[in-house]
Amino acid sequence: MTPFYFVVATVPLALYWLALAWLHSRPQPFAVDGRRDFIALALALFGVFFIGPGAVAPPLSAMAVWRANVWVLCGLLYFCVVVLAASLQRPRIVVYNATCEELRATLSRVALSLDDEARWAGASLNLPNLGVQLYVDGAALGRVATLVGLDASRAQQGWLRLEKELRVELARTEAPRRRCWLAFAALGWGALIAAGVVFFERQEAVADAFSFYLSV
């Protein structure tokens, strides 16, 4: 891997890991829409995916017409594909710095405040008046819980109300501090430092590669 590719692939991932470290170090859990979470992960991996087409180069016909702007078009195409993939997913709410067990009690209070007929069935929760059916899923590693929609109707307004009220309730919830955020912080700062070392030691190679992509 060339120094330029290493820097391009590492920096977005490092920033993503630092964001995860901040989320896990908060004293309260943090909820985010699943589509936004997916887009954030896809943007973090943008540099990794760039290495493939960046090394092979886009079609010569496109390079002849658009010159350096072809990379802008590739980036826009990648972003559009990511947004499309996110829009096709089931509705989700990702809660950082919380386990399934910790989230379940908070979710029960929110559900009853929004719908008197809310009922649990195992790990699934049904809010009929809100048009929302979901189940709680936990990540294999880390303190991350996800509310995944079961309903095919995609009751958007119901999900927006649930996410809003859940955020308000989570802001009142104290989460025990765990040291897992240190691992994300170490990964993030380690990757940034490595990218900085490579950049300053191989400035000419990185600058030449950057100039090449601007002049194709």
Query: pLDDT band for position 131 (50/70/90)?
Result: confident
Q: So what's the pLDDT on residue 47? A: 83
Question: Contact, 38 vs 216, CB < 8 A?
Answer: no
> How confident is the model at residue 55, as a pLDDT?
54
Task: Delimit the domains of the chain by residue range.
Answer: 1-89+179-216, 90-171
The CA distance from 131 to 157, in Å, is 9
- Asked if residue 213 has pLDDT above 80, the reply is no
Class of the CATH-defined domain 90-171 = alpha beta
Averaged pLDDT, 86-106:
86
Whether the pLDDT of residue 193 is over 90: the answer is: yes
- Crossing angle of helices 69-87 and 34-44, in 10° steps, is 150
pLDDT tens-place string over residues 53-91: 555 555 555 566 666 677 777 778 888 989 899 888 888
Which is more confident, 211 or 6? 6
Q: What is the mean pLDDT of residues 165-184?
A: 82
pLDDT band at 208 (very low <50, low <70, confident <90, very high): confident
7: confidence class by pLDDT, cuts 50, 70, 90: confident
Give me the chain's average pLDDT, please: 83
By the 8 A CB rule, do 187 and 10 touch?
Answer: no
Please list the helix, strand and coil fractions of the chain in percent, rounded to the nearest 5, in that order: 65, 15, 25
**pLDDT at res. 17:** 93
- With beta carbons less than 8 A apart as the criterion, state whether 78 and 49 touch: yes
**Average pLDDT of the segment spanning 189-204:** 90
For the segment 25-40, the average pLDDT, to the nearest whole number, is: 89
Task: Give the rounded percent of residues in the chain with a pLDDT score beyond 90.
Answer: 19
> Does the pLDDT at position 1 exceed 60?
yes
pLDDT of residue 141: 61
Angle between helices 34-44 and 46-56 (to 10 degrees): 40
Q: What is the mean pLDDT of residues 93-116?
A: 88
Identity of the highest mean pLDDT range in 52-61, 92-101, 169-178, 205-214: 92-101
| Mean pLDDT for the stretch of residues 23-39 | 89
